Amino acid sequence: MKRKEIQLERILTIFTTIDLSLNSFQGNIPSVIGNLHSLVGLNLSHNHLVGSIPSTFGNLTNLEWLHLSLNKLNGRRVPIELGDLSFLGYLYLSENQLTGPIPQDKQLNTFTRDSFRGNQGLCETPLRNTCPGDAQPPPPPSSFFQKDSTREHGNGFDRKAIGIGYASGIVIGISITYVTCEIGRPKQLA
């Protein structure tokens, strides 16, 4: 029925697979799709769908694959309810405009980054970027010899501490040389 303009009055709830990809559908994904409890596969990819993924998809307990790639979905998060779908083996949400953290529990943490790529606002595992606000602040600077705030090359040591280290090394080196010359060479080195 692709590329034919038809008006559906209702969808049979016994459908196990629905493929509405490569159409020009616009608007939000209807939440009533969550009532299709027999659904095993759903493909709505390559359309112009916007809005968020309905949380009612969590009712699709038999769903094994979900393909929503290449739309304009812009929800603030991937619904945590998708993690409740224990049979979900294939998930494709790539190339949308989804944002926020990917839920890290149950089923969703088993998918690779390919399932989520192309959503610049998504973050957390399996993607390599962290969510804003999740980054740990740098540790407070050490108080060791910290009178002035200028740092040499940003390495955490100020000039005074480095100078004291060099001076201490020189004094210790001269002392060892003097003691060795006065006492004589140690027997272990002879």
CA separation for the pair 32, 25 (Å, rounded): 16
Pick the closest to residue 89 from 44, 40, 54, 51 (CA basis).
40
More confident residue, 147 or 111: 111
**What is the pLDDT at residue 188?**
58
20 pLDDT tier (thresholds 50, 70, 90): very high
CA separation for the pair 127, 112 (Å, rounded): 8
More confident residue, 107 or 22: 22
CATH level 2 (architecture), domain 17-123: Alpha-Beta Horseshoe (3.80)
pLDDT tens digits, 46-65: 999 999 999 999 999 999 99
**What is the pLDDT at residue 77?**
82
Averaged pLDDT, 42-48: 97
- For residue 94, the SS3 value is coil
* Cβ contact 21:43 at 8 Å: yes
What are the boundaries of each domain within the chain?
A: 17-123, 138-190
pLDDT tens digits, 119-150: 989 988 888 778 776 555 555 555 544 444 44
